[in-house]
A and B are shown apart, each in its own frame.
Chain A
Amino acid sequence: MAAIRLLELLILLAMLSGFLGLLLHRNLFLKVLSMDVLSSAVVALFVLVAARTGLRSPILSITNASAESATFLNSTADPIPQAVILTAIVIGLSIQALLLVVISRLARFDPVLDVRSFEQ
């Protein structure tokens, strides 16, 4: 149980550092990277939530399905958060890509990518 608490703490720290980076960096590129840190921490959170029930991959093999099913279900990870976060990873990736495209185009106007030069 202590290991889970420690991991929770680490994930919280990662989220905080991502959010703080987003808040404090003036460079747009670093802002987007900080957002990536934040979303990676969320992925880790979902994996941790899935691991509450056990650590084995939730894949049922046909050969020993009936014999082991009770113990199997008690020791496997919860597949739902894992499935869900897979979708979120894909969405996060595509948004990251879009942001980076826009940033690379904005770099033509200000190569330093300082936030303040785009605000008026």
Chain B
Amino acid sequence: MNAVFTPAVLISWLLAPYLVAFLGALLPALEEGPLLLCCLATGVIGVDGLIDGGVRTLMLLGDHGVMLQIDPIACWFLLLNALVMVAVRLDQWRDPGRCSPLLPAVLLGGLNTCFVVSDLISLYVALEVVGIAAFLLIQQDGSQRMLWIGLRYLLISNTAMTLYLVGAGLAYAVTGSFRFSSLTALPLGAAEVLLLLGLITKAGLFLPGLWLPRSHAEAPSDVSALLSGVVVTGGAAPLLHLAAVDGSLLPLLRTIGLCSAGLGIIQALTAPDLKRLLAWSTVSQMGLVVLSPITGGAVALAHGLAKAPLFLMAGHIQQRQLLGWQERALPLGLQLPLWIGSLSIAGAPLLAGFSAKKDLDASLPAFWAAAATLTSIGSVALFARLWGAPLQTNDTSANRRVPWGSSLLLLAVVVGGLLGVAQGLLTPVAAGETALLFAAGLGIHLLLKRPRQQIGARLPQLESLQDLIGNIAVVGAALLLAVNLMEARG
């Protein structure tokens, strides 16, 4: 344990972003500095925790008070949070229309809290803070479209969190505690289903989480980068914590995760527009994150580091429809994030996505590992739609080079990949396997070229507000049924 991180230091680290938000509103002259310092502190704590590998426990207000736990699961997410936030703020540095650091600071603080809390109620409060900050970020410009997208997001997420609160109340009635660790004493039933339902919705997973594609696709690109990179993990990280505490949740969670991965890929393969493709790929990657509590953090980190530059890059592209993508030239400053980001998520060697995928496969039972491998074929096929746009050479615009923030994330992606190589993950067998997966993915891409639009038109769209509320009910009922069947079979 590092002696520098005394409880006082950790508590001030958790509270600092809120103070920064407050000061930023009072003294706009402070600008980005304090927020970047908060990100730096978050990153340092994340890296230190990962190297150390231990659990740092913090009791507030004595033995019966609130317990915070900085464990390795949380550290992955803390590091991700810090890097993505720094990158988005750096990319927006020279943009005169950028938002003040107030809301990003609240978002940073809220997410940090989400990752380290270990009781149901603190988690509820932190998730609601994150939800409100994200809602305000989405609808900053006040256009009708954004108002509607924001309203839809907040309405769905608050409904889900209300159900979560019911679950927390029922759990307390049985166990007499709100701690995650007390959930082991709780028989699998309505309380846990409601808790899961709330977190699944927040994490953008199968069916109730389908608010995600439209919100992420239509929000301003820098906000999309934050939403897709870290905000969804505000729901995924607690899911991993719960699954680590109570193993009986794992089968349910894995089924939901696999369904999300499949649905996300199918929809992304037929998505008509760049940002929608990226958003659907987030749904599928979040599905992979919740497959295993041990490696979920690494998968989320690899995904967020690659997805944020992709969304930031999408913000600089005028024509985002994917029809005719291969005919439109792109300058190098956009090509580079596009290639590195998409190759990493697709699982190409030497990049962070590959290391995360290998870790994930190693930690899963055979059936689930095979299913996860199948989804990586899908990832290749969907990102293959973005490959092959010609390079624009005579470009004089600002897009000639990669912005600083995106460069930072891409560098982190490459470092993650090299760390994986250093651990010996890149064996000849693994390289051959990856080559086969890429060949299969490209094959699917070519097969789909012609019937893509017809298939896309036939797929059900479950994204209207009415559908989303229905989705919550349907998945909740299905989970209850599954729990009862599992009990009946013993």
Residues on A lying within 8 angstroms of B by beta carbon are 15, 19, 22-23, 28, 31-32, 35, 38-39, 42, 45-46, 49, 52, 80-81, 84, 87-88, 91-92, 94-95, 98-99, 102-103, 105-106, 109, 115, 118-119
Contacts and interface: CB of A to CB of B under 8 A. Distances in A.
Given A23-B473, A45-B166, A106-B151, 13 more contacts: A22-B159, A32-B155, A35-B159, A38-B159, A80-B178, A81-B169, A88-B121, A92-B158, A94-B132, A98-B132, A102-B150, A106-B148, A115-B464
Interface residues of B, number: 31
B18 interface: no
A22 B135 CA distance: 20
A46 B121 CA distance: 12
B113 to A, nearest CB: 14
Contacts, number: 82
Contacts of A35: 155, 158-159, 162
A52 B151 contact: no
A106 B169 contact: no
Contacts of B173: 49, 52
A88 B127 CA distance: 12
Contacts of A45: 166, 169
Contact of A109 (B131, B144, B158, B166): B144
B148 A39 contact: no
A84 B151 contact: no
Contact of B135 (A19, A81, A98): A98
Contact of B151 (A15, A87, A99): A99
Given A102-B139, A106-B144, A95 B154 contact: yes
Contacts of B465: 31, 115, 119
B172 A81 contact: yes
Contact of B169 (A23, A46, A95, A103): A46
Given A84-B121, A106-B147, A119-B464, A99 B172 contact: no
A88 B469 CA distance: 21
B128 A95 contact: yes
B154 A98 contact: yes
B463 to A, nearest CB: 9
B34 to A, nearest CB: 25
21 contacts: A22-B469, A23-B466, A23-B469, A32-B155, A42-B169, A49-B172, A80-B178, A81-B172, A87-B125, A88-B165, A92-B158, A92-B162, A95-B131, A98-B135, A99-B154, A102-B147, A102-B154, A106-B148, A106-B151, A109-B144, A115-B464
B125 A39 contact: no
Nearest to A88: B165
B33 interface: no
Contacts of A52: 173
Interface string B125-152: 1001001100100010010100110110
B124 interface: yes
A105 B141 CA distance: 13
- Sorted nearest first, the 10 A-B pairs with minimum C-beta distance are A118-B148, A102-B151, A49-B173, A91-B128, A23-B469, A119-B464, A109-B144, A84-B121, A45-B169, A95-B158
